[in-house]
Amino acid sequence: MAITDIGDLHRHLQWALEVEHATIPPYLCALYSIPNGHNLEAATLMRSVVMEEMLHMTLVANVYNAVGGKPRICHSDFVKRYPTYLPHSSDAFEVQLLPLSPEALETFLLIERPAKPHARPEGDHYETLGQFYEAVEDGLKYLVSTLGEKAVFTGHASRQVQPGTWYYGGGGDVVAVHNLETALSALTEVTEQGEGIGGEIFDNDGRFNDVDELAHYFRFMELRMGRRYQATDTSGSGPTGNELPLDWNVILPMRPNPHSDDYRAHPTIHRQMVTFNRIYTRLLCQLEMAFTGTPSALRDAAPIMYELRYQAEALMHIPSPLGEGMTVGPAFEFDAGAKA
Amino acid sequence: MSADHAPPPRSRAHSAMALPSFESATRSPQRAERTPSDHSRQRFVALSVILTGFDDAELWGTGMVDPYLGWLLSVVGDQFTGDLLSASQYAIDAAKGDEAKLEQLVRDNILADPTLGPIARNLIVLWYLGEWNQLPADWRDAHGASAMDQTCIISPDAYAQGLVWKAIHTHPTGAKMPGYASWSLPPYGVEGEP
């Protein structure tokens, strides 16, 4: 068993935050490579996934806080340099920052790929996120059964991001966590939205008001196949519904895996990249504030997210002097100078 | 002012960044009426940097380089657009990196020129407001008038991408969400710029 004491549990929940976050920059690059007003269905789909990844980070932070942990986000260690393996995974595949492309979708499918039936729970070096979260859930249950619920859920309620308060518009509502039942409910939402459960395509979860919502894996499959799932489809049949139109020709051709250092010889571009990195870093630090005792700080995180988006969109339009026919793109680097 | 004043084009001597070829790098979602060549796009950006005071990366970042150059080609035509770009290239080359000299050359050779001056001033307004002003009556009498030469905001993107919003550190009303309660925060871009 991967988790046998509270220290193990804390470590795994910190990893869970890192994993949920590590998916966001690649998904955002795919989203922002779609120019405004184009490929509306694809853009809506990508945005819905990103919104849910943000929800997942918040749900994991609530679980982590409920068991007396302290989420650590505003730190250079929290941010991966792309291309990267998913944190603490079995390193089976690398995740890159790419514009929306068949190659990007292949990786997204790997990230969200459902666990095989009866796959073992796995803590470190997990193969699928489902197995990783199963290990976390097993650990929670084990600790509650051996130590008692009160000894595990020691976090103060004031550290919870409460539903219907500061978290708005983001891929479902949050769950305030204070015992095993609410913790499992929060973690179940994370895995159901990601990979689905038991080969189900739709997550059919009325609790979160996302009626008949596809798990991320199947949403990405729709993009890859250019076709929607319909109600009678199964994971075996693939999507057989309406066409999902996607004009690849308008996608902004971002150069893969941008790094600000690559543009040191091009000061005007470098300045725009550093501006992005500072907005990104401010956002991480604002989120850490929200997840470490000041949930109301989430309110002022949203304006930073908009800044981040507009700066990313600008970088997507700047021609890269390093790649013929390519544009610059956002690097998502931690900038210690921006810590507020 | 005519195109034969200008030496063969070369990269901007005073520029922090010599832009290489950008073939297809900025396929514009707003299909311009005309598809400009890479060479003319680079010269157009070089001119726009001088006229707006924003740098090349900032201008490219708006996504409006192609739409604006395409608009210019459509409204005033190849000849005057070419003359304007050649005049700015000449000024850049002759100034040899001396900013004061460059400004004087642009004032003398472009802004004071009865043909190029009104176009250049319109270009400043276009970049800042996304708006094209109908050229002055004198200009239209002298050079003929395009049916497209009407005062208008040339596209929804042009409004949202107006440099005026960046210059005053705010957002284009109704076009770019700033987020709930953002009014209680310091304006974007005032602090935190490298």
Does the pLDDT value for residue A102 go beyond 50?
Answer: yes
Average pLDDT over residues B112-122: 98
Does the pLDDT value for residue B189 go beyond 80?
Answer: no
Task: Quickly count: other Cβ atoms within 10 Å of residue A188's Cβ.
Answer: 18
In a mutational test of the A interface, the residue from B24, B27, B66, B177 whose CB has the highest number of chain A CBs within 10 Å is: B27
pLDDT tens per residue, range A182-237: 999 999 999 888 877 666 777 655 444 444 578 999 999 999 999 999 888 888 88
CATH fold of A6-252 reads: Ferritin (1.20.1260)
Does the pLDDT value for residue B23 go beyond 50?
Answer: no
Does the pLDDT value for residue B131 go beyond 70?
Answer: yes
Q: How far apart are CA A53 and CA A51, in angstroms?
A: 6
For A303, residues 6+ apart whose C-beta sits below 8 A from its C-beta are: B178, B179, B180, B181, B182, B185, B188
Contact residues on chain A for B27, CB-CB shorter than 8 A: 249-250, 252-253
| Residue A317 near chain B (CB below 8 Å) | yes
3 state SS of A6? helix
Does the pLDDT value for residue A80 go beyond 50?
Answer: yes
Does the pLDDT value for residue B142 go beyond 70?
Answer: yes
Q: Do A310 and B176 make contact, defined as CB atoms within 8 angstroms?
A: yes
ipTM attached to this prediction = 0.90
Where residue A159 falls among pLDDT bands split at 50, 70, 90? very high
Q: What pLDDT does residue B35 have?
A: 66
Q: Do B25 and A37 make contact, defined as CB atoms within 8 angstroms?
A: no
Which has the closest alpha carbon to B71: B95, B94, B44?
A: B44
Q: Do A305 and B179 make contact, defined as CB atoms within 8 angstroms?
A: yes
Does the pLDDT value for residue B194 go beyond 90?
Answer: no
Domain positions in chain A? 6-252
Q: What pLDDT does residue A337 have?
A: 85
User: For all residues of chain A together, what is the average pLDDT?
Assistant: 92
Q: In chain A, whose CA is at the least distance from the CA of B20?
A: A321
Q: What pLDDT does residue B14 have?
A: 35
In a mutational test of the A interface, the residue from B59, B163, B188 whose CB has the highest number of chain A CBs within 10 Å is: B188
User: For all residues of chain B together, what is the average pLDDT?
Assistant: 84
